[in-house]
Amino acid sequence: MVLLIGLTAISAADTGNNTASSVISDNTISADTTSVGSIASTVSDTKTVKSEAKTITKTNSEKLVSDTTKKTIKSNMKNTKKTNSEITVNNDNFDTYFTSNGFTDEVQTGSKINFGTNITRNNHSYVLNKQVTIDGKGNTLSLNTISGSYYGNETGSAFIIDHGASGTQLSNLNFYNTQVFVRNTTDVTVSNVNVTVENQRIGQGVGVFSIRDNASYVTVENSNFKTTNNSGSSTLVLAGASYCNINNNTITGTGNVGNLLYLTTYNVAGVAEDDIELNSYNNITNNVLNGPSTTSLICYGITLTGHDNLIANNNVNVAGQGITTQWGYTDPAAPQNGNNSDRYKGNYYINNTVNRGASFKATNNSTVENNTCSGTVISGVNSTLKNNAFTGVVTLQSGSNATENTITTLKALGNNTIIGNNITLLNITGSNVAMINNTGDSLYVISGLTNITSCND
């Protein structure tokens, strides 16, 4: 650190010689040598006093500057140490830094916190309310969470990245039987973590790992989630979250578990369950989802609400519903005005693979492209299907179009355009269907329908 200190030099005009000359040139006192000598002595003494005064002033000034400089340097060193502190926590000192109300004063914004050992607590929550970087170093945090009500108001103990912790980065930490929230904050990255729940009631009404309550720009990547018999709650949840990235994770559910990856409107504080703006502009990409081996009525692979979400390059291995919408959720079938420029609000399903005969149901107004599914498929109203490979029965809902797909059985409900597909069996059950340049074995049209056209160029 370089300190630039400006010192003001005080210059005093020396008037002693001028006074002596004036007196000596005066004839009335020129003979009075005593007076002259006295005057000369006085002038000399005056110079000496002034010189000593200047020396004292200079000395005191230098001392003051020196003391100020030392204090400034010491203060800056102290502040630098606090701002850039690095902390190692263990099972003994954990509560010195983490509390249920937020970090203690020992943790400064920008601190790096390393886990030196495994840490175990019983039914106690910890809140992160400052921006920090946490490196778990492969250690495990266990809070022994036990949830209560399905309404999400009795979550039990939790590790909470909360408002004020914007910019936090968390990596290389294992969570065992521990509820994790990223809540009402933004710009948080969670990477290379393992979240494991085994035979314990965790996540009731909110999910085991829950990004929620107006959270945004949260990234969860390169991580593993494994839930076994947690009384039927979802594993990774977005509830009132937008602009988030869920990328390259493995999510596994075994036994009595809920949805694996769930964008929900339920139990979000202060928000209506039918709010179609919730959970929008998120990217769900490159994930592997493994569900129970037998069909479950409460465990779906990917469950959506919201709009403008990108669901891409995911591998879904469940029995039952692989990709679907939230139960009871009604997304809009009509154009929305305003910022959306009179367009339909929908989602994007690109290059996903749905295995084990699981079904695929898109939200309304969606783009469904380059997907593979062996189970039944429902297009969603006003959607576009292109370049998909579907070996189950596909229902093309009203206002939807199918282009260049390979489909075993296609059921068109009406107001559809079907172009350039390879369809083994095409069943037309509604009016206003145009078929252009398709190939296939069989075509069935219910009698009494109108405006059914078919042509080949």
Residues 6+ apart with CB under 8 A from 10: 54, 57
* Number of Cβ within a 10 Å radius of residue 456: 8
Contacts of 133 (CB under 8 A, 6+ apart): 111, 112, 113, 168, 169, 170
**Given this model, what pLDDT does residue 327 score?**
82
Quote the strand ranges of 122-272, DSSP E.
Answer: 126-128, 133-135, 140-142, 158-161, 169-171, 174-176, 179-183, 186-191, 194-198, 209-221, 224-228, 236-242, 245-247, 250-254, 261-264
Contact 205, 152 (CB under 8 A): yes
Query: DSSP 3-state assignment of 339?
Result: helix
Backbone angles phi, psi at 47, to 5 degrees: -60, -40
Residue 402 neighbours by CB distance under 10 Å: 28
C-alpha separations of 171 from 114, 187, 342 in Å: 10, 14, 42
Residue 212's Cα: distance from chain center in Å?
Answer: 10
With a CB cutoff of 8 Å and minimum separation 6, the contacts of 404 are: 386, 387, 419, 420, 421
User: Phi/psi class of residue 325: alpha, beta or left (left: φ > 0; alpha: ψ in -120 to 50)?
Assistant: beta
Residue that the structure tokens 């399903």 belong to: 349
Q: Would you say the pTM of this structure is higher than 0.75? A: yes
- Give me the residues paired with residue 390 across strands: 373, 407
Note the pLDDT of residue 84.
53
How far apart, in whole angstroms, are the C-alpha atoms of residue 401 and residue 411?
Answer: 12
- Residue 21, CB half-sphere, CA atoms under 13 Å: how many? 4
Per-residue pLDDT 10s for the chain (457 aa) are 333 333 333 333 333 344 333 333 333 333 343 443 443 444 445 444 444 445 444 444 445 445 554 554 444 444 434 445 899 999 999 999 999 999 999 999 999 999 999 999 998 999 999 999 999 999 999 999 998 776 766 788 999 999 999 999 999 999 999 999 999 999 999 999 999 999 999 999 999 999 999 999 999 999 999 999 999 999 999 999 999 999 999 999 999 999 999 999 999 988 888 888 999 999 999 999 999 989 999 999 999 999 999 999 999 999 999 999 998 666 654 444 333 334 568 999 999 999 999 999 999 999 999 999 999 999 999 999 999 999 999 999 999 999 999 999 999 999 999 999 999 999 999 999 999 999 999 999 999 999 999 998 7
Residue 233 tokens read as 């709650």
Give the count of alpha carbons within 13 A of 383, CB side only.
28
| DSSP SS3 for 324 | strand
Contacts of 425 (CB under 8 A, 6+ apart): 408, 409, 410, 440, 441, 442, 444
Element housing 306 (H / E): none
- Alpha helix (H) residue ranges in 154-242: none
Terminal Cα-to-Cα distance of the chain (whole angstroms)? 79
Residue type (1 letter), 201? R
Tokens for 214?
A: 């107006």
Rounded Cα distance between 171 and 8, Å, is 54
> Whole-angstrom Cα distance, residue 211 to residue 263?
10
User: Would you state the pLDDT for residue 155?
Assistant: 81
Give the pLDDT of residue 279: 96
Q: In terms of Cα–Cα distance, which of 275, 274, 235 is closest to 254?
A: 235
Taking a C-beta distance cutoff of 8 angstroms, is the pair 289, 315 a contact?
A: yes
Asked if 93 and 114 count as a contact pair (C-beta separation under 8 A), the reply is: no
Q: Which domains does the chain have, with CATH numbers?
A: 89-375 (2.160.20)
**DSSP letter assigned to residue 199:** S
Burial class (CB in 10 A: 0-12, 13-18, 19+), 233: buried
